[in-house]
Each structure stands twice: as C-alpha cells, then as structure tokens.
C-alpha cells in the first residue's frame, strides 16, 4: 500500500518506521530535515509539502502537535487534500479536539475523501514496538480500509463511534492521566517534606484507593529516577488538558481540576521546562520544598 506520514517526532518517527517495516511504500514530510533524513535512510521517500505526500499516497497519517497544525497540513494551502485522490483516507493520529477533527473530515468528504481519527495511547516505547493503543472513530467503511495501516502501529484497538469520537476519547483519557500525574507529584512531595519515605507511601497506597498506574508504572521509570528526558513533553500534556477543558466548558461544565493541572503544566513552561517530560513536575516540587523523591537503589548482588 502507498502510505504517507506527516509528523516525525518522538511518537511519529517510530510509528512511520513500523509502517515501512510492514512492507508498505512510505512517503514522509516533516519540518525537521534530520527527521526526514532518518526515515529516508530506512527506505522512505521524502516530500516537500503535504500536497506531495497526498499525491503519492492512498492513506496519509498525520501525527502533529496542535489542531491548527493538522488543519493547515491537511486542508490548507499545499495541503494533503490538494494532492490526495478521491477515495483517499487521512488517518489523523494527533491529539486534537473532536470539533476540529469533524471539521477536517467534513472538508475531505466533500472532496470525495475521508478521515479516520485514531489518536494513540501508551508511550514512545510502545510506538517503537508497534503496540500502541488505538482509539478509532469515523465511518465504518473508511475504518475497515484503514485497518491494515493501523495494525502496523498498534495492538489494542477500541472503536469509539462516529467521526471525532476517537479524539474525544483521547482527550478524556489524557485529562485524567495528566491530572493524576500532577496530583501524585504534589502528594508525594508533601509526604516527603512531612518525614515519610517514598517506599512507605508506595506500600500504603498500594492498599488504598490512592494507587494508580502513574505511581505503579510511569513514575518509577522517570520521575523517581530524576529522568526528565523527552517523552511526553509538559507543553503537549498542557495542550491536551487545555483541549479537554475547552470541550467541557463548551458544554457548560466548569473543569476545575483540569484547569488546575493545566496551570501546573503551564508553569513548567514558563520555567523553561516545557519540552521536558512530565516527570519534571516532580523536580519542580522537589526544588520548591528542598527535598528529593527517589527510589532506593537496588542492592548490588555479588557472586563468588
């Protein structure tokens, strides 16, 4: 199959590589020449615009930071829609609001094309192994046609409903996951400052309703090791939470917890940490309180 991919960042690059590994013909575009060069070295073809990607492809995957970026690259000047043939499908895998997703899909359908929204869950590690969670929305016929491409990137597929529902699921998921992360950093910092140990808090929380996957999986891999290298950037987490809050508020609901989490993430940005992994939120709390939240080093095992 002829597949295009636009957006070769931390998540997009390994996702595109897995499409290539599956034997599909791949054309890529990104504003970073280095990112494009790495995919070309692996066997992809380079394009200079979204239009060129569309002209070379039956399916075009987009994995971009913000809703306006997706709209520009798909339906804007020299966008995918100007090159994609009738019957072509855009697979939109970014984290954007469902309103923008539906809007872009409507434009494409008027031109004889279609859009499948399939944002992803899990981490960059899962992007590398092709085991992402896929939250899929759209017209069933288009989804069925897109499945061979989607299966290159994910193993857990959830059909959410009609156009825009995949993106609705993603921002709902990220709102909850991120607010839990923010709450974890605050609670653990308070506990350490009060004289508790991380190990004790983990033991107790495992037996109560406080336990969560951020404490169990994500934070031991990054925050508790003092590792803030790029993964899920604070600026992107803040964007996801903002989108979820905006959707809620458009429905007449005040997103108090979400807005508090967004303020915390925005603060990381003003401190020059927007591109750091969300694990850096723990570091900010540590600096404020003069503490350190770290896992105890594993004991060294010696053999004779």
pLDDT tens, residue by residue, 164-176: 999 999 999 999 9
Q: Are 219 and 261 within one domain?
A: yes
With 60 as the cut, is the pLDDT of residue 205 above it?
A: yes
For range 95-117, the mean pLDDT: 98
pLDDT value for 304? 45
Question: Which pLDDT belongs to residue 231?
Answer: 87
- Identify the H or E element spanning 3: strand 2-6
List, for residues 5-61, the tens digit of each pLDDT value. Answer: 999 999 999 999 999 999 999 999 999 999 999 999 999 999 999 999 999 999 999
What pLDDT was estimated at residue 230?
Answer: 87
Digit-coded pLDDT (tens) for 130-161: 999 999 999 999 999 999 999 999 999 999 99
Residue 293 sits at the vertex; the CA angle it makes with 288 and 297, to the nearest 5 degrees, is 150
Instruction: Pick the catalytic residue from 21, 41, 77, 170.
Output: 170
Residues 25 and 151 grouped into a single domain: yes
- pTM for this one? 0.92
Residues 153 and 12: their CA atoms lie apart, in Å, by 10
Burial 105-114, CB ≥16 within 10 A → b, else e: bebbeeeebb
pLDDT in tens, 68-91: 999 999 999 999 999 999 999 999
Query: Which of 163, 194, 226 is the last residue before a domain boundary?
Result: 163
Q: Say if 304 falls within a structural domain.
A: no
pLDDT digits (tens, 9 = 90+) for 263-296: 999 999 999 999 999 999 999 999 999 999 998 7
Choose the final residue of a domain: 163, 191, 212. Answer: 163
Active site residue 45: no
pLDDT at 242 over 70: yes
Of the pLDDT bands very low, low, confident and very high (cuts 50, 70, 90), residue 300 is very low
Give the pLDDT band (50/70/90) at residue 1. Answer: very high
Interatomic CA distance for residues 60 and 154, integer angstroms: 16
> Is 297 within a domain?
no
Percent helix, strand, coil in the chain, to 5, is: 55, 15, 35
Q: Please work out, in degrees rounded to the nearest 5, the angle formed at the alpha carbon of residue 43 by the alpha carbons of 37 and 46.
A: 50
Same domain flag for 199 and 278: yes
CB of 91 closer than 8 Å to CB of 146: yes
Last residue of a domain, one of 120, 145, 163: 163
Output the six-digit token pair for 261. 């989490």
- Look up the domain containing 270 and give its range: 168-289
Query: Residue 52 corresponds to which tokens in the numbers above?
Result: 């060129």
Residue 23's pLDDT is: 97
Assign 187 a pLDDT band (cuts: 50, 70, 90).
very high
Same domain, 104 and 6: yes
Q: What gap in Å lies between CA 163 and CA 119, rounded to an integer?
A: 12
DSSP β-bridge partners for residue 28: 5, 46
Instruction: Give the list of residues 6+ apart from residue 117 with CB closer than 8 angstroms, or none.
Output: 92, 98, 101, 105, 136, 137, 138, 163, 164, 165, 166, 167
> Which pLDDT value is given to residue 297?
58
Nearest to residue 164, comparing CAs of 240, 246, 105?
105
């Amino acid at each position: 199959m002829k597949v295009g991919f636009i957006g070769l960042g931390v998540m997009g690059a390994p996702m595109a590589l897995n499409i290539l590994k599956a034997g599909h013909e791949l054309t890529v575009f990104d504003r970073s020449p280095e990112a494009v060069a790495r995919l070309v070295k692996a066997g992809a073809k380079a394009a200079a615009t979204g239009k060129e990607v569309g002209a070379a492809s039956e399916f075009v995957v987009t994995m971009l930071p913000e809703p306006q970026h997706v709209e520009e690259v798909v339906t804007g000047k020299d966008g995918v829609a100007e090159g994609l043939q009738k019957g072509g499908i855009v697979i939109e895998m970014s984290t954007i609001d469902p309103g923008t997703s539906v809007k872009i899909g409507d434009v494409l359908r008027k031109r004889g094309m279609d859009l499948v929204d399939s944002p992803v869950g899990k981490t960059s590690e899962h992007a590398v192994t092709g085991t992402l969670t896929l939250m899929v929305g759209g017209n069933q016929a288009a989804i069925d046609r897109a499945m061979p491409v989607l299966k290159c990137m994910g193993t857990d597929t959830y059909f959410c409903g009609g156009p825009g529902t995949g993106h609705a699921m993603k921002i709902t998921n990220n709102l909850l996951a991120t607010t839990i992360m923010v709450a974890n950093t605050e609670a653990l910092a308070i506990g350490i400052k009060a004289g508790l140990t991380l190990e004790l808090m983990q033991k107790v929380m495992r037996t109560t309703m406080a336990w969560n996957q951020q404490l169990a999986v994500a934070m031991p891999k990054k925050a508790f090791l003092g590792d803030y290298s790029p993964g899920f950037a604070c600026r992107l987490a803040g964007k996801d939470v903002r989108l979820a809050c905006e959707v809620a508020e458009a429905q007449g609901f005040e997103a108090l917890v979400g807005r508090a989490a967004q303020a915390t993430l925005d603060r990381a940005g003003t401190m020059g940490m927007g591109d750091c992994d969300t694990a850096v939120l723990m570091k900010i709390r540590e600096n404020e309180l003069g503490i350190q939240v770290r896992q105890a080093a594993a004991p060294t095992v010696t053999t004779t």
